[in-house]
């Protein structure tokens, strides 16, 4: 049995931990390094990859927090010490298996959109980063006209169809009508978990508003482009520059 969100008391030093109530459910979120920087910085919503929020994600959040106000919602797993088995079980309990095996949008995007509308949009233009299973989440949240920059790293889910983006038709329509949105996508070449077909599908949808970068693969099993031992310094630097360019020095 998984812990309830209110039992997850992990919180890195200097971070802020809080809860968000939506549709009868309690969700945990964090603000990275909030004590060290002024709240006037532009906001970025950082969505973790599988299995959950770990030390690698914490490191990326702290890096980004030097320039941005970084919010990290807890979507899956035991925060700080996630495991693939526990996270997979949580997917099943939430009846979100379709996020891996169909092109349907995840139920989690509902509360994430509500969270962003309450905590990020009031500050002005903001950015969103999705990785691996949350790549489609980033695109779904980018329907908000306040989102000026989205980053999709190693987009993996849904697994089938391989070119599926995990978006509803309403989300697709909204993205096509969002002229101010700019997107950056990153993946390692020959990464079967993040196939080129997803990047191609995103390119077909967003056209010249997305730039797709395929990086040389350090190892045969490399997958995460922004976190972990194989993280690309080039990709991280470009993401920071891209977000700063699109979001400016403070709220619009």
Predicted local distance difference test score (pLDDT) of residue 104: 56
C-alpha closest to that of 128 among 45, 221, 17 = 45
Query: 251 pLDDT exceeds 50?
Result: no
**Number of other CB atoms surrounding residue 54 within 10 Å:** 20
Give me the mean pLDDT over the 23-38 stretch. 89
User: Could you tell me the pLDDT band of residue 116, with boundaries at 50, 70 and 90?
Assistant: very high
CATH of segment(s) 5-246: 3.40.50.1820
Q: By 3-state DSSP, what share of the chain in percent is helix, strand and coil, each rounded to 5? A: 35, 20, 45
Q: Are 201 and 163 in contact (CB under 8 A)?
A: yes
Predicted local distance difference test score (pLDDT) of residue 38: 78
Q: Are 73 and 112 in contact (CB under 8 A)?
A: yes
Give a three-class secondary structure readout of 119-150: HCHHHCCEEEEEEHHHHHHHHHHCCCCCEEEE
Query: 87 pLDDT exceeds 90?
Result: no
Alpha helix ranges (H) inside 5-71: 55-64
User: Could you tell me the pLDDT band of residue 97, with boundaries at 50, 70 and 90?
Assistant: very low
H or E stretch covering 11: none
Under 8 Å CB-to-CB from 233, ≥6 apart: which residues? none
Give me the mean pLDDT over the 125-150 stretch. 96
Query: 60 pLDDT exceeds 80?
Result: yes
């Amino acid at each position: 049995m998984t812990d309830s969100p209110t039992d997850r008391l992990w919180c890195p030093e200097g971070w802020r931990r809080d809860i968000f109530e939506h549709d009868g459910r309690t969700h945990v979120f964090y603000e990275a390094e909030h004590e060290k920087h002024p709240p006037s910085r532009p906001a970025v919503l950082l969505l973790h990859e599988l299995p959950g929020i770990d030390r690698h994600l914490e490191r990326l959040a702290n890096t980004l927090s030097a320039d941005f106000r970084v919010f990290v919602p807890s979507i899956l797993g035991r925060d700080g010490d996630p495991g693939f088995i526990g996270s997979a079980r949580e997917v099943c309990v939430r009846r979100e298996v379709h996020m891996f095996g169909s092109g349907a949008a995840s139920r989690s995007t509902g509360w994430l959109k509500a969270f962003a509308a309450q905590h990020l949009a009031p500050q002005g233009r903001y950015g969103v980063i999705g990785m691996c299973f949350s790549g489609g989440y980033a695109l779904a949240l980018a329907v908000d006209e306040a989102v000026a920059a989205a980053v999709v790293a190693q987009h993996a889910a849904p697994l089938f169809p391989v070119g599926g983006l995990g978006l509803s038709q309403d989300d697709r329509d909204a993205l096509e009508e969002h002229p101010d949105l700019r997107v950056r996508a990153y993946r390692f070449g020959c990464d079967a978990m993040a196939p080129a077909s997803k990047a191609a599908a995103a390119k077909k949808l967003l056209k010249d508003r997305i730039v797709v970068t395929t990086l040389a693969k350090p190892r045969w099993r490399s997958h995460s482009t922004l976190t972990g031992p194989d993280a690309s310094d080039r990709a991280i630097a470009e993401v920071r520059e891209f977000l700063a360019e699109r979001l400016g020095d403070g709220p619009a």
